[in-house]
Structure 1
Amino acid sequence: MSTVASSTAYDAHFRVWRGDTGGGGLQDFTVEVNEGEVVLDIVHRLQATQAPDLAVRWNCKAGKCGSCSAEINGRPRLLCMTRMSVFSREETITVTPLRAFPVVRDLVTDVGFNYTKAREVPAFVPPPGVGPGEYRMMQEDVDRSQEFRKCIECFLCQDTCHVVRDHEENKTAFAGPRFLMRVAELDMHPLDAAADTGLDRKATAQEEHGLGYCNITKCCTEVCPEGIHITDNALIPLKERAVDRKYDPLVWLGNKIRRRGE
């Protein structure tokens, strides 16, 4: 008796945003989906069969370069890490560019805002008198900052943060969760000697990078593909240290006494 293997392929309904800086809209496609594929595979199939001029940014296809950030059904995601199996076969899948940043073309956005903010964060300041290879840290401190170094610069947290996403006017004063996390990492680094140079990272977080705009809704944490606890482990502790520095009466008194002794 002969048997015929059943096919797992099916046709899915996609809606993909097409356009450029002058405007655009959603375009409907019916495209084949095979077992084990991710959304980026489908976008590539669309390029190969129906929309050769469809623009999309990608590189590693392994969830480590952060290039293929987009919004799928309104949620910021990596195209290469979103499996088609999470959607029903009858579901219409809508793919749009990151809403928080200007569109270049189709699914490609101009994320230059993030690089501008990155340059505004002062770098790690090496401790004086300690050469390369001589740094020593407690393992607990290494583990704490190592979590933040898992960031792949996908900017999904920046895109989903409503302070950036819904209020264009905030961008000049607000660095966003990715770069406030960077400030927090440096501020808690036991070897960072920024204070010796007169740089108060807690003060700059509040006054220059807009820490006060963050209302800790945890939306940045929810979309992080690396599972970094941005809010709980970086932003909330940074807020607490900034508040202690600015409003704690004992700190205020200590500063007064210190100034008198100088």
Structure 2
Amino acid sequence: MSTYDARFRVWRGDQDGGDLEDFTVEVHDGEVVLDIIHRLQATQAGDLAVRWNCKAGKCGSCSAEINGRPRLMCMTRMSVFDRAETITVTPLRAFPVVRDLVTDVSFNYAKAREVPSFVPPPGVAAGEYRMQQIDVDRSQEFRKCIECFLCQDTCHVVRDHEENKTAFAGPRFLMRVAELDMHPLDAAAESGLDRRRTAQEEHGLGYCNITKCCTEVCPEGIHITDNALIPLKERAVDRKYDPLVWLGSRIRRRDERTT
């Protein structure tokens, strides 16, 4: 097994401020960035804070920015970098720092609670659900999400504009709204919930300008923009500007005024 010394710059600090700290650390064949961070903890920076769990690309815990790009540290192999380059590891920029590489991602869990869950179809037992395979495949793609929040971090609407967070759910949760809106068994409309309207008015769908940056960083390869956000935008626009929908809403309002 061959080894070499790599140069790392790791952000150290907390909510009050911090800076990049330089390290030289040994690297072995086949290792990933998380291995190096663990070696730093074991040999040079015992108090370095980092969040991780499975080390298999399935828990989403070890999200960070590596050379400025949002990545999972456990899925970023050292072999993708030139041995001569300095590798910079910093916390997710879109969220408040707790300490070192650990950020407070509670914003995402707050947004998750704002999305109404699946509404079962009335009169159909769970074991009696039937769907076309194309609908199953769509839902399964979206449900591959491991909630690493890299898409949330790279989305410039959240990343560069803190003031947008109150009105914008971000790509991960707009994808959830899209999944439910396109689900053939979701009975939200029958219960009075208009997912397309809430996507626009409550979750900030209009802020998304489909740059596909969220898709580019997704470690699960989910086509967030093409398969979720663009179709949701199209469905929301169709609903808003469909002349029959517009006429129906006018008739309903007129009837309400006369009763």
TM-score (norm: length of structure 1)? 0.95
Asked if 1:26 is matched to 2:30, the reply is no
Asked if 1:42 is matched to 2:21, the reply is no
Q: Which amino acid aligns with 1:53?
A: D
Q: Which amino acid aligns with 1:26?
A: L
Asked if 1:233 is matched to 2:209, the reply is no
Aligned to 2:84: 90
Identity over the aligned pairs, expressed in percent?
A: 89
1:30-109 to structure 2, matched below 5 A, reads 30-109=24-103
10, 15, 34: which one pairs with 2:9? 15
Q: Distance in 2 between matches of 1:143 and 1:122?
A: 22
1:203-218 to structure 2, matched below 5 A, reads 203-218=197-212
145, 148, 151: which one pairs with 2:145? 151
Q: Distance in 2 between matches of 1:261 and 1:103?
A: 54
The Cα offsets for residues 70-120 of structure 1, whole Å up to 9 and x where unpaired, read as: 000000000000000000000100000000000000000000000000000
Aligned to 1:117: 111
Q: Distance in 2 between matches of 1:149 and 1:94?
A: 31
- Unaligned ranges ≥5, structure 1: 1-6
Partner of 1:185: helix, strand, or coil? Answer: helix
Is the CA contact (8 Å cut-off) linking 1:15 and 1:29 kept in structure 2? Answer: yes
Is the CA contact (8 Å cut-off) linking 1:118 and 1:179 kept in structure 2? Answer: yes
Q: Which amino acid aligns with 1:119?
A: R
Partner of 1:147: helix, strand, or coil? Answer: helix
Per mean C-alpha deviation after superposition, the further-off stretch among 136-145 and 28-37 is 136-145
Residue 123 of structure 1, CA deviation: 0.4
Q: Which amino acid aligns with 2:187?
A: A
Partner of 2:231: helix, strand, or coil? Answer: helix
Is the CA contact (8 Å cut-off) linking 1:157 and 1:221 kept in structure 2? Answer: yes
Query: What do you get for the CA RMSD once the two structures are aligned?
Result: 1.4
Aligned to 2:246: 252
Q: Distance in 2 between matches of 1:260 and 1:226?
A: 49
Q: Distance in 2 between matches of 1:91 and 1:199?
A: 53
Equivalenced residue count is 256
The Cα offsets for residues 17-68 of structure 1, whole Å up to 9 and x where unpaired, read as: 0001110000000000000000000000000000000000000000000000
Q: Distance in 2 between matches of 1:228 and 1:126?
A: 25
Residue 132 of structure 1, CA deviation: 2.1
